[in-house]
Structure 1
Amino acid sequence: MSRSLSSGLRSLQPAAFGAEATGARLERIRTSPNFADGQFRNPEGARIRPDGSMLEFAKIYFRKEERALRAPTGTVPVHATTLADLAKPPASGLRITWMGHSSVLAEIDGVRVLFDPVWGERCSPFGFAGPKRLHPTPLPLAALGPVDVVVISHDHYDHLDMPTIKELATTDAVFAVPLGVGAHLEHWGVPSGRLRELDWHESTEVAGVTLTATPARHFCGRGLRNPQHTLWASWVAAGPEHRVYHSGDTGYFEGFKDIGAEHGPFDVTMIQIGAYSEFWPDIHMTPEEGMRAHLDLQGTAVSGPMLPIHWATFNLAPHAWSDPGEGTAAAARRAAARVALPVPGQPFEPS
């Protein structure tokens, strides 16, 4: 294909597809120890495409009676977060507000860290198709107040939302992202000077909070080609007094123990426990696996609770809407572990 034709086809892509890494960014990707044979690699082998027949999965997922079973019964409870909820500093120095799915505002020792913000109506490149919200956002993004740093785990649509990023690009927030993801953000108007693009085990400091990109077991991609040139990560955010962990999307792997040994214990872990399926067992965790990851991260220390994330907001898998929350509560009882189960928008202080 000629260069002009290829460029022309790229110009027809939806803006939400983002942009591919080029130049110095691409060279940095190619020299990463986690990049081999033209793509990023997982810490442990992972099948990133559904097991079995895609047709069989589609039959289950789109069957009318199955959709009815997966839907929430009644209205999803949401706490209408107000300025009063967030205006007063947390008494403990740490306050967590889960906004639904994987979006979390963590106020850590006076610094406001926003993980995987998705305020859009659909996690899709198109406004007319794709998984739609099951509940409204707890508050408008503009009412959230100043954010010091936005942290992105990877570039899938339910974690990286173009309209949300474009709105945050007009603020003074710094953006901490895995390698390659910065190309999308620059394409949407985030100045390069406000980007911190990290490989696994690299750190950056923002306003006294150290952010470290840590391994995860997942994959990437937004467009038609998906050359696996953007990294996925979990994140540690450590302030002078408190530290938290956000898993992003990941399958279970032994590396949680190493992350906990190096960076833990944590005042709260935010762990993915939804959108799991036997069709993709290596890239998302079940509630039981999520609890196992939490215990690995915390080690033997007396430590903070687990906040289950990546559920309740979008219907992305063939399990019932309530299964991830109920499964996590049951796993916590079996493990005698602490778990936080706020409704979206309800702030809490781990203690």
Structure 2
Amino acid sequence: MFWRATRLIGGTAAVVGGGWALRALQGAPSALGASPVEIDGRTKRSPNNRDGVFVNLEPASAISLSRQEQFMLAREVIGGGSVQHPSAPVPLVTPDPSVPAGDLAATWYGHSSVLIEVDGYRILADPIWSDRCSPSRAVGPQRLHPVPVELEALPAIDAVIISHDHYDHLDVDTIKQLALTQRAKFFVPLGIGAHLRTWHIPADRIVELDWNESAHLGELELVCTPARHFSGRFLTRDVTLWSSWAIIGPRHRAFFGGDTGYTKSFTDIGVDYGPFDLTLMPVGAYHPGWPDIHMNPEDAVRAHRDVTDAGLLVPIHWATFRLAPHPWSEPVERLLTAAEGEGVLVATPRPGQRIEREPESEAAVTLDPWWRT
């Protein structure tokens, strides 16, 4: 998201816009979530927390951009060009909410928002239905395509999982609406529960987990697994945890990468909780200036191979919000090239399209280059 990208490249939003950022934030204190004091408590007792902040198991490289490069990159991210936008309206699919939950399926709504079906359970991951991924409704990265379905039209959800608290993964308006329209609990990494409580989500609907802790929902097990990233909702950073998720059913397993750089932890996740029949891997918003906190498409294929030997890969974290200056469709094109070289099976659904597959069959797997038309 814009706020994250500008902080990531050295806080150049202040240089580009002066007091613009503060004006844009007026009227949006609720979106910022909990303060560091409210987030305290169990977070500091975590073995993954040092001196009040969470740390990666595998440290990320320092940002390798000069001041001038930071300024130029901020201008690219803010302004953009024609190659950073789809050349025609993105084709959407309206999902059918009457379809029963399957054994292994995924409905991608755009960016990292995806409905994952495992052995009859429905898990909604990183939902964002707002027009912008920002604490402001006036500025910040805006959708490149509409949401394919309204929140109220979703089928009954068994669980909502959140990977971390950046605005393009934890959206206040979406969370509040889901709390009203669904009965599902929210499964979140440590510290994010404070944001939800600030937004008046009942405490009994929040389950907070540290890395490699799990919770059960009937026969389904949800495991909060490590990721290589960071957190923060404006001025504070790393006071809440970030994660990927292993979704383990009695017969099938899915892995949700969330938002992460490549990490050796994927191998451990594959050994401890895999092999996975389905992976949802982030492929977009990469840049040489931040090589270790966002995977590029080749990293995503490598991570997929780390956690499974024969599963289906569905790319996420692309197509919906412009968060880096690479061309809009470059992530999926590079992914297909890398996957072909590694013999990895890939599905490329349109936003709103449901992909269903049995692990032993390639039937019903969609490789549709819809972004080229």
Partner of 1:77: 91
Partner of 1:156: 166
Q: What secondary structure does 1:113 align onto?
A: strand
The answer on 1:100 being equivalent to 2:114 is no
Amino acid at match of 2:283: I
Match of 1:339 among 342, 346, 352: 346
The answer on 1:15 being equivalent to 2:22 is no
Match of 1:228 among 234, 238, 241: 238
Match of 1:177 among 188, 211, 228: 188
**Equivalent residues in 2 for 1:140-219 (5 A)?**
140-170=150-180, 171-219=182-230
CA 1:50–1:141 in 2, change beyond 3 Å: closer, same or farther?
farther
> Following the alignment from structure 1 to structure 2, what is the Cα–Cα distance between the partners of residues 52 and 214?
34
CA RMSD across the alignment:
1.8
Please tell me whether the aligned partners of residues 177 and 197 of structure 1 are also in contact (alpha carbons under 8 angstroms).
yes
Deviation, structure 1 residue 174: 0.5
Partner of 1:7: none
Match of 1:57 among 73, 79, 90: 73
Q: What secondary structure does 2:324 align onto?
A: coil
> Following the alignment from structure 2 to structure 1, what is the Cα–Cα distance between the partners of residues 64 and 313?
28
CA 1:88–1:62 in 2, change beyond 3 Å: closer, same or farther?
closer
Amino acid at match of 2:29: P
Cα deviation digits, residues 266-300 of structure 1 (max 9, x gap)? 110100110111121110011001101111111xx
Match of 1:244 among 254, 277, 281: 254
Please tell me whether the aligned partners of residues 230 and 237 of structure 2 are also in contact (alpha carbons under 8 angstroms).
no
> Following the alignment from structure 2 to structure 1, what is the Cα–Cα distance between the partners of residues 62 and 220?
33
Partner of 1:262: 272
Q: What secondary structure does 1:279 align onto?
A: coil
The answer on 1:88 being equivalent to 2:100 is yes
Please tell me whether the aligned partners of residues 48 and 219 of structure 1 are also in contact (alpha carbons under 8 angstroms).
no
> Following the alignment from structure 2 to structure 1, what is the Cα–Cα distance between the partners of residues 307 and 139?
37
Amino acid at match of 1:338: L
- Alignment gaps of 5+ in structure 1: 1-10
Please tell me whether the aligned partners of residues 101 and 122 of structure 2 are also in contact (alpha carbons under 8 angstroms).
no
TM-score normalised over the length of structure 1: 0.90
> Following the alignment from structure 1 to structure 2, what is the Cα–Cα distance between the partners of residues 173 and 165?
11
Cα deviation digits, residues 101-121 of structure 1 (max 9, x gap)? 000101211211000001111
Please tell me whether the aligned partners of residues 212 and 223 of structure 2 are also in contact (alpha carbons under 8 angstroms).
yes
CA 1:176–1:21 in 2, change beyond 3 Å: closer, same or farther?
farther
Q: What secondary structure does 2:307 align onto?
A: helix
Partner of 1:320: 327
Amino acid at match of 2:314: L
Amino acid at match of 1:75: P
Partner of 1:282: 292
Cα deviation digits, residues 38-69 of structure 1 (max 9, x gap)? 21000111147563332131243345xx5222
> Following the alignment from structure 2 to structure 1, what is the Cα–Cα distance between the partners of residues 199 and 77?
32
> Following the alignment from structure 2 to structure 1, what is the Cα–Cα distance between the partners of residues 37 and 122?
31
Cα deviation digits, residues 70-123 of structure 1 (max 9, x gap)? 111111121122334xx3343xx1221011100010121121100000111100
Count residues in correspondence. Answer: 331
Cα deviation digits, residues 144-203 of structure 1 (max 9, x gap)? 021111000000000001100001112311000000000111111210011110000100
Q: What secondary structure does 1:83 align onto?
A: coil
Q: What secondary structure does 1:98 align onto?
A: strand
Partner of 2:263: 253
> Following the alignment from structure 2 to structure 1, what is the Cα–Cα distance between the partners of residues 301 and 150?
31
Please tell me whether the aligned partners of residues 181 and 231 of structure 1 are also in contact (alpha carbons under 8 angstroms).
yes
Q: What secondary structure does 1:348 align onto?
A: strand
